[in-house]
Amino acid sequence: MLSTKPIGRGASARKYDLLTAMGAYALAQGKHDQRRVLRLLTLITARYNWAADELAVGQREIARLWSVDERTVKREMAHLRAAGWLVVKRQGARGRVSEYALSIERILHDTAPNWGNVGPDFELRMGQGEASTSQTVVPLPVRGVVAAPDVSDGTEWALARALLHSEDAGVYASWIAALDRAERAGGRLTLRAPSRFHARYVQTHLDRRVLAACRDVDETVSEIRVIA
């Protein structure tokens, strides 16, 4: 359904589907994530250049659109880049604003669990589109080869990391590689992330995947806790 650039014939429908997926995802999240996605949706609707696959808007203009200060804009845009929803096409310099592009593959990946909230027809349409592009589109682009993790210490986390790497090197490089084993208490495995945002993202979006990988190598693991 959705190509990497929703342009050409049927482009309007593809754009609406993408925005609907983002909205359905936002409404299933907490208030902070809801507000962040609403801000992005408004920015896309007002200023995204679909033909060029480009968002080139200054922080002052975004701040006015969002009714916030520029510090909030900087923080929110950093969150969106960290989540992989926005990618930098060209870094801003004196007299030139930063240029961003939407990572449609990443957005589809993250919003997929909420497609069914829109309706079975929407879920089917989106799912068919994702399947049709999966052979030619890398869901999470990663520069270079992502090295497999070291499993020499033999811990459940080392082995689980290796499984996660083999399943999806992009997700591994973006979110899993930076997680360290903090402690194990009974069935609870505690992992340490490099930041609170990173920890919250993994706990919210990847908890089931990480737990499944851990249980594949150690069935006594019953809970994953991610701290910063």
Top mean-pLDDT range of 4-13, 62-71, 145-154? 62-71
For residue 223, give the CATH number of its domain: 3.30.300.180
- 223 within domain boundaries: yes
For residue 124, give the CATH number of its domain: 1.10.10.10
Q: Does 206 lie in the same domain as 106?
A: no
Instruction: Check if the beta carbon of residue 152 is closer than 8 Å to that of residue 161.
Output: no
Range 124-146 average pLDDT: 53
Q: Does 57 lie in the same domain as 24?
A: yes
pTM of the entire predicted model = 0.56
CA–CA distances in Å: residue 132 to residues 137, 160, 173, 189, 205: 9, 29, 25, 37, 24
Q: Does 172 lie in the same domain as 123?
A: no
| DSSP-based three-state secondary structure for 99 | strand
Q: Is the pLDDT of residue 132 over 50?
A: no
Q: Which two tokens stand for residue 3?
A: 């190509």
Q: Does 182 lie in the same domain as 91?
A: no
Q: Does 60 lie in the same domain as 21?
A: yes
Q: Does 108 lie in the same domain as 196?
A: no
